[in-house]
Amino acid sequence: MKIDLQKRQRELEREGKFDVDMNEVHRTFDAQPIDGNFEYLPRRASEKFRRLWLLSVVSVVGPVINFFAHGAKVRGRKNLRALKGKGAVSVCNHVLTLDTLLLKNAVGPFRLFNTGSYYLMKKGWLGKIFKAGGFLPVGTTVPDMIKLQNAIQALLRQGKIINFYPEHALWPGYRRIRPFKAGAFHFAVKFGAPVLPVFIGFRMTKLRKFFHCKPKAILHILPAVYPPEEGNLRERARVFSEQVNAILCEEATRFYGENARALDYVGDLGETQQ
Q: State how many domains the chain has.
A: 1
pLDDT in tens, 212-239: 899 999 999 999 999 999 899 999 999 9
Tell me, yes or no, whether 190 lies in a domain: yes
Angle CA(222)–CA(245)–CA(185) in degrees, nearest 5? 90
- The closest alpha carbon to 119, from 28, 241, 236, 17, belongs to 28
- pLDDT (tens digit per residue) in 11-59: 898 889 999 887 665 566 788 888 777 889 988 999 999 999 999 999 9
**Structural domain includes residue 39:** no
pTM reported for the whole predicted model: 0.92
In a domain, 62, yes or no: no
Structural domain contains residue 147: yes
Above 80 in pLDDT, residue 271? Answer: no
- Average confidence (pLDDT) over 234-251: 97
The neighbour count for residue 174, using CB atoms within 10 Å, is 24
Residue 201: inside a domain, yes or no? Answer: yes
Strands (E), 109-215: 112-117, 135-138, 161-164, 195-203
**pLDDT tier, 250 (very low <50, low <70, confident <90, very high otherwise):** very high
Averaged pLDDT score across all residues of the chain: 91
From 24, 170, 167, select the one nearest 97 (Cα to Cα).
170
Mean pLDDT across 157-180: 96
User: What pLDDT, in 10s, does the model give residues 84-134?
Assistant: 999 999 999 999 988 999 999 999 999 999 999 888 888 888 889 999 999
| Residue in 192, 165, 189, 168 with CA at minimum distance from that of residue 239 | 189
The answer to whether residue 32 is domain-embedded is no
Could you list the residue range(s) of the whole structural domain that residue 258 is in?
69-109+141-273
3-state secondary structure of 154: helix
In a domain, 254, yes or no: yes
What pLDDT is attached to residue 273? 43
